[in-house]
Structure 1
């Protein structure tokens, strides 16, 4: 009797565990995407909440639910602080199960994250930072630089200014990795074209709001062009103050990195006539307009710029690679997932077609625009006139010149 009771209890215990085993086996592996950007500082409008909206739009357009995929998007504010960003990323990877890191403006932050992502073997898709070092000497097999970089900006905007007669420059530069790299890349181009750099003023970043003393130095230099090696709110403030000083009457202003969100903040009365480079414009064609129409209800005060579009495009391509590999396999190995992404052609509504080079550089087409005069604008955010187009394989630094250590000789 005792034996049969024990047998019954054992059988009941085994039976009780079976549903748990089946449940565990039935659970789908979850992909987790972490959008890490500036949500409270000078780059809030260039990335911020609209980057998160565009990331989630990629999930919707890909149809993760109908494909049976479980994908979650989380976000955090790195406050443009490398140490804070690294701390958030480690927590995301170690505790929260994040598989892919996305956006990450501010080049000092972006560069600081390369080692931790590689250590944890995750995927890192950067749309927001600019430094060309990210696919140069500090490249990584876990990393793709999606949307633009300092070399592309220097070649497009800087090159156009030099061709138009702007052969002497003075720089106003944000004193961190991005500003220094943008100044360096543009200076190389200027000198190679027979021009000269007469000086530069580097200001503390973040936290500088009064650029008057730096603008006085620029005016006194006698240079034909003021090169702004900054971005976001700093670009907006420096252009506003340059106009207030009347500096735009004696020098051309080269906004080396400027987004449509910055033009909107300035207004066409101030911004008209500026040349700038983006790899995405919402009104470029039917596909970009359709994408923007899908996004605007969720971001009604902020039209998407190239950073936002890059978050969408990178996420969509990542999801395609994960579906192709199988989610479980993609989660195991960040390098393998990035390699699969490199092997697949990129195609979406924001950038059309592009390809990802061995060093992690996504070769998107770049567009040089001129900001319209108020009378030329026919509606909300109708701000750009197309001046020139540069194919992706010509827009970026040649592979051999980057000295990326993961490229085999």
Structure 2
């Protein structure tokens, strides 16, 4: 477990330094937990820790009298390990807020603990819609995406182009199963159909049997509901088996910049995906990417940028209310628009989703690459108003109770 302590400072007016008596233990403790060394580590992992440190560093320029401590842990993609660590953090170790997580099964285990302890957890790369649906909580905030954000646009767009039969190759845990269910729901409403799905273990290395089933299905689209090392390996084998020259269109329902880097543009070219953020969007995103690259030697992914945003927004709220009390901080976070390069102006919705724009992007061909890491071309911007499941369709008890 890595620990770092960063001092922070006070700006005279609304960000005046909190009195020590209002901060439990005299220090604000933030925990970043995710996959630090396994198949999901490139997209978040140590990079999310680096992003959190940059956020604390920037907060230090606003409020240096506030003491902030960052702790990190590897949940190894195991819900029991993740739950054990977070329960100890919230209890014995006095952690005030947990960020990232990056695994849907682990997130669902942590959500109940955060609710029970009335502590904040802010999710980055967690796809299952249950986190802000049936299992939603006032203290569990989704800062990046959910599976509806990721699949609704691409499924409707491709089905509208006549690609109406789909076969799914998915990771066999909460994320993959929820993503397939969401895709099939949207696909049916768009006039398409699912002709089958297969589920593989997390960290699987041999996709031959799954790819052969997809090929044999006759589906026009083969959709991959996995990410990180799993997607990279599956797409490399797709190309090795000659399926890239076949009639079926591959679709990556969740793909990160580091996935494209690992598989190479020769393999990734033409793949489309939806992302909440891309480092080469504008001058502000490029400025953060330059700082991040100096630390990590890679450009930041959307999850890593969202961890920066979540940590900074949280710390600003702590400073504003002069307390780390969960209810007071949460109320301030909900009442205040996000002010950063990640999601400027974004607000938290009643179902605990941060509502922001998304982008449909496509991996470039090798000849189109103009500078290192600039792997995407933006096909279209998806406005926040179109990117989320309507609240009227929400299964979140907080929304349902409010509606009554």
Equivalent runs, 1:8-407 vs 2, <5 Å:
29-63=26-60, 66-204=63-201, 206-248=202-244, 249-300=246-297, 302-327=298-323, 330=324, 332=325, 334-407=326-399
Counterparts of 1:304 and 1:362 in 2: how far apart (Å)? 20
* Range with bigger deviation, 345-354 or 275-284: 345-354
- Report the equivalent of 2:11: none
Counterparts of 1:164 and 1:280 in 2: how far apart (Å)? 26
Judging changes above 3 Å, is the alpha-carbon distance between structure 1 residues 64 and 97 closer, same or farther for their aligned structure 2 residues?
farther
Q: Do the aligned partners of 1:123 and 1:335 also contact (CA within 8 Å) in 2?
A: no
Secondary structure of residue in 2 paired with 1:95: coil
Return the offset for 1:124: 0.7
- Report the equivalent of 1:6: none
Secondary structure of residue in 1 paired with 2:339: strand
Q: Do the aligned partners of 1:33 and 1:71 also contact (CA within 8 Å) in 2?
A: yes
Q: Do the aligned partners of 2:22 and 2:322 also contact (CA within 8 Å) in 1?
A: no
Return the offset for 1:26: 11
Q: Do the aligned partners of 1:158 and 1:254 also contact (CA within 8 Å) in 2?
A: no
Query: Going by fraction, where is helix more abundant, 1 or 2?
Result: 1
Q: Do the aligned partners of 1:279 and 1:367 also contact (CA within 8 Å) in 2?
A: yes
CA-to-aligned-CA distance 1:357-390 (integer Å, 9 cap, x gap): 0110111110001111111111110111111111
Structure 2: runs of 5+ lacking an equivalent: 1-19
CA-to-aligned-CA distance 1:58-88 (integer Å, 9 cap, x gap): 1111226743111111110000000000000
Return the offset for 1:230: 0.9
The alignment covers a number of residue pairs equal to 380
Q: Do the aligned partners of 2:150 and 2:274 also contact (CA within 8 Å) in 1?
A: yes
Return the offset for 1:158: 2.3
Q: Do the aligned partners of 2:337 and 2:344 also contact (CA within 8 Å) in 1?
A: no
Return the offset for 1:338: 2.0
Q: Which runs of 4+ in 1 moved over 4 A?
A: 24-28
Q: Do the aligned partners of 2:29 and 2:97 also contact (CA within 8 Å) in 1?
A: yes
CA-to-aligned-CA distance 1:3-27 (integer Å, 9 cap, x gap): xxxxxxxxxxxxxxxxxxxxx9799
- Report the equivalent of 1:18: none
Return the offset for 1:342: 1.0
Judging changes above 3 Å, is the alpha-carbon distance between structure 1 residues 66 and 136 closer, same or farther for their aligned structure 2 residues?
closer
Structure 1: runs of 5+ lacking an equivalent: 1-23
Judging changes above 3 Å, is the alpha-carbon distance between structure 1 residues 43 and 25 closer, same or farther for their aligned structure 2 residues?
closer
> TM-score, normalising length from structure 2?
0.91
